[in-house]
Amino acid sequence: MLPNELLKIGSNFLKKKRINSYQIDSELILSKLIGEPREKFLLNFNSKLTSSQIFSFKKLILRRGIKKEPTAYLIKNKEFWSNDLKVEPGVLIPRPETELLVEKIILNIKISSPYILDIGTGSGCIIISLLQELRHSKGVAIDISKKALVLAKKNSKINNTYNRIKFYNRSFNEINNSKFDLIVSNPPYIAKHQMKNLQDDIKYFEPKVALDGGNDGLDVIRKVIYKSTKILKTNGLLALEIGNGQYKKVSQILKLNKFRVKFIVKDYQDNIRCILSSLKHY
């Protein structure tokens, strides 16, 4: 069987199961099994597949379509900022919106060698990407999940930033004796009552601790903002990813804590999803 024939079977099955990303999911799964980048194998449809590859593909397609397992967990990786990151169940899958946050920081950070704190590092996608672009920077990555930190360390080694990051399995409340030029966080921001409305692949597979932001979705965001008043340098930058529709409330929390909004980042649907702010000077 040729790759395009198998892709058609896979994408048709996922489409029937109402998986919106049926085509790209099929391509990502097959490219992983072939061992070639998706862009490369799509140009070479003439090589026949082995029976083992066909069997494995169908098995993973069934898991995606019936159990709704996220493709990133099935193939154990996710591309982020042109990096191939390892991902696994128990650690949040990096999102395109977070790439927009990274891009905005890189374009607007004024310090050539910032000292960075990444709160809730997860897979390490944010701090790894920032350190790759800001080549003289160093950082601290923290997470309350030991599993996430093991994965973030692995990703930082693969992507050549390990020697510039210190990893700590702790809450940001325990960071007291350092001051940072940049504090960045993609915190949990889904309101507790909205958790049941999430897509099945998120709701049943991704870690709730990385999603559930309390009654109004802002519990952790409030704490991060308050803590940042103590550990952000005078000319430093606080960069937060937030949920859709949260901008007004988060900007009010920032204002109450003496921050001023410097930049906002909109997602691909034109919703404000990230805020970059700094402490006001008096």
Q: Per-residue pLDDT for 261 more than 70?
A: yes
Domains and CATH numbers, the chain: 3-67 (1.10.8), 81-279 (3.40.50.150)
Q: Which of 120, 133, 181 is nearest to 159 (CA)?
A: 133
Mean pLDDT value across the chain: 93
Q: Coil, strand or helix: which one is 117?
A: strand
CA distance 28 to 102: 24
Q: Per-residue pLDDT for 59 more than 90?
A: yes
Ranges of H-type helices in 17-122: 22-34, 38-41, 51-62, 71-75, 96-108
Q: What is the pLDDT of residue 166?
A: 97
Q: What is the pLDDT of residue 39?
A: 73
pTM, two decimals, is: 0.92
Q: Per-residue pLDDT for 44 more than 70?
A: no
